[in-house]
Each structure stands twice: as C-alpha cells, then as structure tokens.
C-alpha cells in the first residue's frame, strides 16, 4: 500500500502508523475472546482479518465468540464453522455449513432480534467485546470511521470494545461517504426521544466516532462484498406480489392508506425482494423505504421513479446490480440514508412512522402464528433477523411464503406452528401465491376459514378443514387436537410428505 | 339528582341538559352497534348503562361489539355473556362466565396487545365505534371529561366514536381530578416523538377533550368499583419474590442495575402483586413504577417510603385497600400519574425508560417460550393483556409462575409450550418458587439445564431431562421429539396428571 493511498483513506495522521497486516492483527486474538464484526446481510463485512484467523486455526486450537450485525459474506461463517473456532455466534447467520454445525450442537447460536444486540452490548448483558473489527471506506480528519455498505452494530461495537481493528477496503466506493447517519440511542433510562420523524431525517454524524487510543491496527483490503444469492421473481412470487397489491388497493379504498402507502420494510431474501419488485408496474408512487437491508428491487424502484428515499442499515445486491449501482452511485446517493441497525429496527421509529413490514415466513398455522426460523420446529434455518422488530411494531405486519415447499410435500400452512416467532397477536396479513388473509381484528375462529381458503394450497385445504372441524368439536378459543397438532410434521419426517392421501 | 350536584360535577353549562337515565341511554343502542366502554382491570368501568343494556336483553334480541380498556368489574362481562348480547369482545376480559362462552364459541374474543387497540381504532381498522360510554368524575368548564380510576382506551374512544354517553359516578373521589395526563399519540406517519423521558413527566391535559356535540347523554351513578380479587401473598409467592430480589442483587453486583433498580411494571393478578410486595422488606429504595395497573402492593410500597412515583392507566384495589387509600387520597395524589393505556403500554416509552417488566406465565417450556393465555393450548384464560407490550420492549422481561398447578398434576414447565404468547427471543428471566433462570444471551441448549434445575418442580425434573436427552439425540438448534412434544398436555387430559409415574 503506497503512502498516498494510505493518506487519502486515513485522514487522521495519528492513525497512519497503525497500518498492519491481517495476519498480525489476527495474531492478537486469543482463545476465549469475543469479537464484534462489521457486516450485515453479506454487506460491509470485514474480510481479511477473519480469513487470517481461520488460517491460524490450521495450526492452533482456539475458540472465540462472534457478534455481527447479521449474516456475513465471503464464506466467512462457513470457514469459521469448518475451522471449529466459534464458541457462540449471534445475532443472525445464513450459511449452510454454519447452520449444520449449529443444528448438530457444535456451536452455540443465539437467535436475537436485530435491534436487541446493541442493547445487550451497551448494557453489559452479554460477554464484553475484546476486539471490534470493522470495515471502513476511510477515517476522517477528526477520527471518525466511515463505514462501507452496512453499518449493522459497528457503532456500538466500536463504543464498547476494548480494542478496535479497522479494515479499509479499497474496493468499496469512496462515494459511500455521506450516506451514513450514526446516532447513538444512549443508555436505557437516560435516553431522549429519537428525533427521527420522517424517513429521510438525518439525526446523527456521517461517521462512527471512535476512541483513537483503542485502534490497535488498520488493515488495507481490496475485495468486493459477496453478491446476494437472491433468485429472480418467478410466477408464484409474482402472484404473491399481485395479492399484496390487491390488499393495498383495498386499504386505499377503505381510506386507510393513500397511493403513497407508508414507509416500506422488506426482509432479506428472494421472496421479499420479488414482492417489492411487484410495485414497479403498479400505480403506487412517491414511495419510501425504511428497512434494514436494501436489495435489488429497491434500486429498480428508484430507477422507475417510484421510490423517493430509502433508509437502511445495509445494501446487499446481486453481482450485476452491484456493478451497475456503484458505477453510477452519484445517482442514488441523495436518496439513501444508512443507519445503525438499532435505529433502522427501533420499535420507537417503526411504530411512529407506521411502517408496512413485509417478511418471509417458513410456515404459519391456521390461526396466524408464524414460524420464521425452525424447520420442523427443531432445525434452525437462518434466524429471526429483524422480522420481529418490524412485525411487532409496524402499522401492517405482513408475512409472505409460498403455500408449499419440497414439490408440494410440505404445506407451509399447518394446523399448529412447530415453532412460533411471531404470535397470533402480531401478525396482520399473510400472503401466499394463492391469495391473502387479512387477520386484523379477527378472533381465532374467524381466521381459520380465511387462511385455509385464501392461502393454503388447494391440495391441503380438505386436510386442514378436517383437522379444524375435529378440533372444533373439542371447543376452545383456539381449537386444537393436541395429539394431532404436530402430526403433519411427524408425517413429513416419517413418510416424506404431509399429504394424507400420499402417505396412506 | 339535585341541581347543585349536577352543577358541581358538570361545569360546562351546555352539557347539563343532557342528563338522562341509564335506561334511556341504553335504549339508543341498536343491534349490531359497536360500543367503546371505559374500564381497565375492574377500575373506572361504566356501570349503569351496561346494566340497563343487559336488562333490555330480557325482552329483546340484539348483539353488540364491546371494546374496553381491559377487564370490567361489576360482573358486567358475566352479565353480558349470560345475556348473549356480545358478538365480539376485545381486547381483554377476565370473567369466568364470559371465558366459558368464548371457549364454547358463543362469542368472539380478539386477544389483543393492550397498546394496539388504540392504533386499530384510530386507523379505522376494526369496526367503528357507535357509542363511547365513559365513566367520569366530572366535566370541566372547558368541556373536558375527567376520568375516574382508569383511563384505558377512553380518550381514543371519545375521539373516534360517533356519539358519547357519560356516566358521572358520585362514588368516585373528586380528588382524582389532577392525576390524569391525557396525551394523544396522533396518526402513524404524522406523529412526533412522545415527549416522556421520566416516569413522572406530565405531557398532556388533565382531562379528555371531547366534542360536546357528540355527547348524547349523561347518566349519574353512585357505585364503587369492584374490588380486586387478588389473594394475599403465600409461602410460594414469597419464595418467588425472594428469588427475584436475589436476581436484582446479582444485577447490581454485575453493575447493570443500581439499588433504585429501574421503573417497574407488574402485571395484573395475585402473583405479580405478591412479587412486588416482596420489595417492601428489601434494601431497594427510591423506586419508580411505570405500569398499566397499580394493585395493593404499590400503595404498600408508597406507604413504606419505597416508591416515589407511580405511573399507571388504572388503580385496582382490594376492598380494604380501596377504603384506606381513598380516605386519605391526598397523601398519594402527587405520587400518581394516570395515562391512556396506549401511553402506559407504548413500546417507545417502555424501551426508552428501560422498564423491568414482571408478568405472570401460565406455562413456559424448556427453551423459554411463554404461554400466558391458553390452558392446554386451546382454552382462553384471560388474555395477553399488556404483557407483550412490556416484555417485548423492556430492559428486563421477567415471567413468574408457580412451578406446578392442580396439586402438582400440572407442571408449569413443559417440553413444548402449548401456545406461545412470548417467544424465546423476548423472554429474559423466568422465576418460580424453585428459583430463577436468567436466559439472556443463552442459546437454546444452554437454557434447558437452567430452566429444569432452577425452575421446574423437583418431581418433574427427571421427566424433563428424559425428554430433553431423547430430543438431543435427534439434534437441532432447539431439539424436540415432535410426536411427544405435547404429550404432557394430552396425558393431563387423559390421565388427569402430567406425571409419568402416576399415569402408568
């Protein structure tokens, strides 16, 4: 790294002497330490030091706790898991190998609401952080760290960590400087109202203020974020988008929404992306996005002139989109604001702005309880992420899923959710490719017919009705046949299908 | 009612002509209408018009929807249910007869977070309110309604209802004037931060502003609130209180709390009351209460000089306590603030103040999922009330329950919660008479030993371990044997006990 580049990216002179190699930085990390890494949904993660740490595992036995914003890219979670160096991981991950190790009990995963981690760290509730390792575009003259494509928990990690290692990533656009808005909520019991009342309000600083004495090393890297793994909209996700648009239209007709809708939040993944994508051809205009992650669809909506402003805590794009967006980033800059995840996911703001929150379900039951995390109630998929932060406080908590999985052998609509991440009290609208069910203000017995008829796949409807009518004979606010409640899941485990006819 | 008394209580001259009888007022209510009644946990409920409405049911067939703050006193929910005049009831009730009818499917009950009802009413999401029927101490010169011993949803009911009927209750102390603080959150997307940053901040008006043209009638009544039905602390609730105090002490030792603790919220009922009662003999001082309902224990704590200020949305006392408190209400007035339930239970405030929230569980499972509402997953007990508002946003979400029920035939700690109102993501600490388990920052597999060893009753521990070790063989983030997950509940239904040894 030549001095000119160092000086350009590290504007605070005192810090220039801290430049070091990833391997050296990784060598400071000891067995039993806790690390706070930047990174949220594959964006803005540190890349070099974690890799060097994995390398060390080849010759040395150690374990660390790893806290992040959300999932990491660059296969880091995979490599961490394979190297066996993780004791505890939180608050979210989305890697197949790590998931396998978690489910085998080889590493501990704490599945946390994404807005909660900062509170736990600030309140000294969980293991304190030895090293915050944070990706940056640059460090300003006054010693502020300018994050890259995500903020995640970086600001609270920087504040609370014993020491800080910074990765300055030359592959991240310097144009990112200026889109961040760092606001610290402060301690519970001592904090003021968060002064954000519109999606595009700026309430903080453009970078993360850091204690320069804590900076132990600065590593230069040059590696793009991992592209997102979303797949393009398909026929079924298009149908889901259409159902959601139909619901929005009925809300407008009822006078509860206007054509500007309300600030939109959409979860990570292909389905949520596809559903947002459906707005492009719609009549809705002057939209705002207040979300945790911006995926491809939001930029398509900006290009289509549909979205005026998008607040986020990370930008996670497909390979093609990433190239396109960062080649003409000037075009998008003034429409984007990036916030710490504590603020993007804060109940205070979500409730105040009255978001429309769209998240993906793994399954939901005939009463509207949603499982977002556990396959068959036991095996972790990714984690709850921000879905609980949003659903619990939004104006409209919408959950979307295809009505079946595994070629129809799994019904996403079941008699009894095998794990509950979002309770019947929190779920407003459920959508599948079959249709939508608006559950607001409905008693459990009113919900069932709507969910079965509007959302379940036709091939499972009779079976759901059978369960419900037997349950009704036993009565109750929420009728169930407890000995059969989880039989759909056990049937799938035994016979490879939830479908009675095939099974017998 | 003599004119002097009318003039004293109705200070706005225009309204004096609206005085009428309960029977007349009740006659205006038509089949299919929706009523918004004052009343929260038996306090401040309207008494005369509902009774007159029940009377009408003797000679006439009709049904109405009834929205309230929370549960009603004066057996009104019982009489409503017996008369068969309720189509839909929300957001909470606590009456044995009504519960039976709900569970038999004879009336629809929507079990709502108590902070959500106001949003649903304001947003025109649920059936609009034809008549708001609200208890008051008086009406001011400038046409504000001064509520009595609860505010509940009265302010939003008054704002949104087509018409208003007021019951001025001469039995309620005029000294209540001045303790209320009415603040309207405003529409989502248009609202400002709620400017409450300390428990005792006053941010609103002393009464509910009403549109005088909507007032159709004013009925005078003279009937005390129904006393609460709580029972005195017993040996087991004392043990629970001691475990909670031990937990608080360990938090102080860890530097996470001071001896002032943090503003306390405690749910309705004997157990929560007993647990708060345990603070009287403790070393903790200068306490604050920010809760929905104040029960006897809070006044004992004020008397003991332990509590400096208590914010609430209702005051629900035992017969004896009610007499004592209202005979010397001057002593308590400046320590009390009563707020609409949307504010007492608002996620923004709960998170900002960092409440310690203590609520009662019906059962919880070995991973910390809490059921607060459904007996054996089907039969509604009372409702979720405010427990979700608080637990989801508090600094510390504590759930308390006795480790067994029905003389030991039911274990409150089960392999799999038969209904989930508070997910594993939201539950921080569980307490029984056996001890407490601090679940914060723990992965599911770390939670199990703590919950079994610290909280389960010794006679159920082996059985819980058996389940868990079998489940462990199958693996998973949250190991389960799905075909046995609900067997404890089905065993209870079949054999009258969850205990394997007795059963076989």
Would you call B103 and A354 a contact, using CB atoms and an 8 Å cutoff? no
- Angle between helix axes A319-327 and A296-303 (nearest 10 degrees) is 40
Say yes or no to pLDDT of B503 above 80: no
A contacts of B485 (beta carbons < 8 Å): 377, 486
- Best of B203, B352, B387 to disrupt the A interface (most A CBs within 10 Å) is B352
| B453-471 exposure pattern, b = at least 16 Cβ within 10 A, e = fewer | ebbbbeebbebbbebbeeb
Confirm if B337 and B289 have CB atoms less than 8 A apart: no
3-class SS at A148? coil
What's the pLDDT at B346? 98
| CA A407-A410-A411 angle, 5° bins | 115
Choosing from A292, A342, A363, A424, the catalytic residue is: A292
Closest CA to A376 of B422, B363, B474, B418: B474
Buried b (16+ CB within 10 A) or exposed e, A3-34: eeeeeebbbbeebeebbbebeebbeebeeebb
SS3 call for A16: helix
Q: How far is B71 from chain A (nearest CA, A)?
A: 17
Give the separation between CA A400 and CA A392, rounded to whole angstroms.
16
Over residues B437-462, the mean pLDDT reads: 98
* Contacting residues of A for B126, CB less than 8 Å apart: 440-441
Contacts of B188 in chain A (CB under 8 A): 262, 351-354, 395
Which pLDDT score, from 0 to 100, does residue B293 have? 96
Q: CA nearest A388 in B: which residue?
A: B425
Q: Check residue B233 and give its pLDDT.
A: 87
Catalytic pick among B167, B292, B424, B433:
B292
Is the pLDDT assigned to residue B107 strictly greater than 90?
A: yes
B451 in Cβ contact with B413 (< 8 Å): yes
- Cβ contact, residue pair A377, B254, below 8 Å: no
Which pLDDT tens digit goes with each residue over A143-165?
999 999 999 999 999 999 999 99
Task: Select from B443, B474, B490 the residue whose CB has the most chain A CBs within 10 Å, as the one to mutate to test that interface.
Answer: B443
Please report the pLDDT score of residue B3 as a whole number.
86
Candidates B113, B352, B420; nearest CB to A369 = B420
Structure token pair of residue A248: 């929005």
- Say how far apart CA B243 and CA A183 lie, in whole Å: 37
Kindly provide the ipTM of the predicted complex, given to two decimals.
0.97
> Cα angle at B389 between B388 and B390, to 5 degrees?
90
Q: Which are the contacts of A191, defined by CB distance < 8 A and separation ≥ 6?
A: A185, B197, B352
Whether the pLDDT of residue B504 is over 60: the answer is: no
Looking at beta carbons, which residues of chain A come within 8 Å of B483?
Answer: 486-487, 490
Per the CB < 8 Å rule, is A388 touching B424? no
Q: Report CB contact under 8 Å: B490, A482.
A: yes
Q: Please tell me the distance from the alpha carbon of residue B497 to that of residue B491, in angstroms, as a whole number.
A: 6
Confidence of residue B335 (pLDDT cuts 50, 70, 90): very high
Q: Given a cut of 90, is residue B129 above it in pLDDT?
A: yes
Residue with tokens 């005049």: B85
Q: Quickly state the pLDDT bin for B245 (edges 50, 70, 90).
A: very high
pLDDT, mean over chain A: 96
Q: What average pLDDT score do residues A181-199 get?
A: 97
A214-265, pLDDT tens digit by residue? 999 999 999 999 999 888 889 999 999 999 999 999 999 999 999 999 999 9
Of all residues in chain B, the percent with pLDDT exceeding 70 is: 99
Instruction: Tell whether pTM > 0.90.
Output: yes
H-only helix segments in A214-269: 235-253
Cβ B194–A194 below 8 Å, yes or no? no
Asked whether the bond before B91 is cis by omega within 30 degrees of 0, the reply is: yes
To the nearest whole angstrom, how far is the Cα of B24 from the nearest Cα of chain A? 30
Question: Per the CB < 8 Å rule, is A485 touching B482?
Answer: no
Quick check: A418 and B482 CB within 8 A? yes
**pLDDT at residue A359, rounded to an integer:** 96
> Nearest-CA residue of chain A relative to B258?
A189
What pLDDT shows up at residue A115?
Answer: 97
Catalytic-residue membership of A292 = yes
Which of B92, B184, B189, B392 to mutate to probe the A interface, most A CBs <10 Å? B189
Q: Is A470 exposed, middle or buried (0-12, 13-18, 19+ CB in 10 A)?
A: middle
Q: Which of the four pLDDT bands, split at 50, 70 and 90, describes residue B439?
A: very high
Distance from CA of B91 to the nearest CA of A (A): 10
pLDDT at A271: 87
Of A384, A377, A492, A418, give the one whose Cα is nearest residue A103. A377
Interface test with B, best of A129, A357, A482, A494 (most B CBs within 10 A): A482
- Closest residue on chain B to A185 (Cα): B352
Q: Are B81 and B108 in contact (CB under 8 A)?
A: no
Sign for the CA dihedral angle at B78, B80, B85, B87 comes to negative
Backbone angles phi, psi at B75, to 5 degrees: 60, 20
Calculate mean pLDDT across residues B265-272. Answer: 89
A504, pLDDT greater than 70: no
- For residue B41, is the peptide bond before it cis, meaning its omega torsion is within 30 degrees of 0? no
The pLDDT value recorded for residue A270 is: 85
Chain A nearest-CA residue for B491: A483
Does the pLDDT at position B1 exceed 80? no
Neighboring chain B residues of A197 at a CB cutoff of 8 Å: 191-193
Contact B425 A395 (CB under 8 A): no
Place of tokens 């394997």: B500
Q: For residues A187-208, give the mean pLDDT.
A: 97
> Of the candidates B191, B477, B486, which has its C-beta nearest A352's C-beta?
B191
User: What is the pLDDT at residue A501?
Assistant: 77
> What are the distances in angstroms from CA A300 to CA A254, A323, A421, B282?
29, 14, 31, 61
- Is the Cβ pair A482, B377 closer than 8 Å? yes
B318 Cα to chain A: minimum distance (Å): 30
Whether residues B124 and A256 touch (CB distance < 8 A) is answered with yes
Measured from the Cβ of residue B59, the count of other Cβ atoms closer than 10 Å reads: 6
Cα separation, B128 vs B120, whole angstroms: 10
Average pLDDT over residues A122-128: 98
The pLDDT score that the predictor gives to residue A503 is 58
Q: Which chain B residues are Cβ-neighbours of A423 within 8 angstroms?
A: 388, 420-423
Q: What is the pLDDT of residue A3?
A: 86
DSSP character at residue A106: S
A111 with B424: Cβ contact below 8 A: yes
């Amino acid at each position: 790294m030549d001095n000119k580049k160092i000086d350009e990216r590290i504007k605070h002179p005192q810090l220039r002497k801290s430049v070091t190699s990833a391997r050296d930085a990784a060598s400071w990390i000891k067995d039993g330490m806790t690390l706070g890494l930047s990174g949220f949904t594959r964006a803005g993660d540190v890349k070099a030091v974690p890799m060097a740490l994995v390398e060390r595992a080849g010759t040395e036995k150690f374990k660390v706790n790893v806290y992040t914003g959300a999932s990491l890219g660059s296969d880091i979670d995979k490599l961490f898991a394979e190297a066996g160096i993780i004791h505890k991981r939180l608050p979210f991950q989305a890697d197949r190998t790590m998931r396998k190790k978690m489910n085998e009990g080889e590493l501990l995963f704490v599945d946390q609401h994404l807005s909660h981690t900062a509170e736990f760290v600030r309140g000294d509730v969980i293991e304190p952080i030895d090293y915050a390792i944070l990706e940056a575009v640059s460090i300003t003259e006054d010693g502020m760290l300018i994050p890259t494509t995500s903020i995640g928990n970086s600001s609270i990690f920087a504040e609370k960590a014993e020491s800080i290692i910074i990765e300055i990533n030359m592959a991240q656009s310097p144009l990112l400087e200026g889109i961040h808005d760092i606001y610290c909520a402060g301690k519970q019991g001592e904090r003021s109202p968060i002064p954000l009342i519109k999606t595009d309000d700026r309430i903080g600083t453009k970078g993360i203020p850091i204690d320069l004495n804590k900076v132990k090393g600065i590593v230069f890297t040059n590696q793009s974020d991992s592209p997102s793994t979303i797949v393009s909209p398909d026929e079924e996700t298009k149908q889901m988008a259409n159902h959601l648009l139909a619901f929005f239209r009925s809300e407008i007709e009822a006078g509860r929404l206007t054509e500007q809708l309300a600030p939109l939040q959409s979860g990570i993944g292909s389905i949520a992306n596809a559903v947002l994508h459906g707005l492009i051809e719609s009549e809705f205009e002057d939209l705002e996005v207040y979300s945790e992650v911006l995926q491809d669809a939001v930029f398509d909506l900006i290009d289509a002139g549909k979205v005026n402003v998008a607040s986020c805590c990370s930008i996670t794009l497909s390979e093609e989109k990433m190239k396109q967006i960062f080649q003409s980033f000037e075009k998008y800059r003034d429409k984007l604001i990036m916030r710490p995840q504590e603020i993007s996911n804060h109940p205070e703001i979500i409730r105040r702005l009255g978001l429309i929150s769209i998240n993906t379900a793994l399954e939901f039951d005939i009463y509207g309880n949603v499982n977002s995390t556990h396959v068959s109630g036991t095996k972790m998929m990714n984690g709850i992420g921000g879905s609980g932060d949003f659903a619990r406080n939004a104006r409209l908590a919408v959950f979307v899923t295809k009505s079946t999985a595994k070629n129809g052998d799994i019904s996403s609509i079941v008699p009894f959710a095998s794990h509950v991440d979002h309770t019947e009290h929190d779920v407003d609208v459920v959508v599948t490719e079959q249709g939508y069910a608006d559950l607001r203000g409905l008693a459990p017995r009113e919900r069932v017919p709507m969910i079965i008829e509007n959302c379940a796949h036709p091939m499972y409807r009779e079976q759901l009705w059978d369960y419900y009518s037997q349950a009704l004979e036993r009565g109750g606010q929420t009728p169930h046949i407890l000995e059969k409640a989880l039989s759909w899941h056990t049937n799938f485990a035994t016979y490879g299908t939830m479908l009675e006819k095939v099974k017998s």
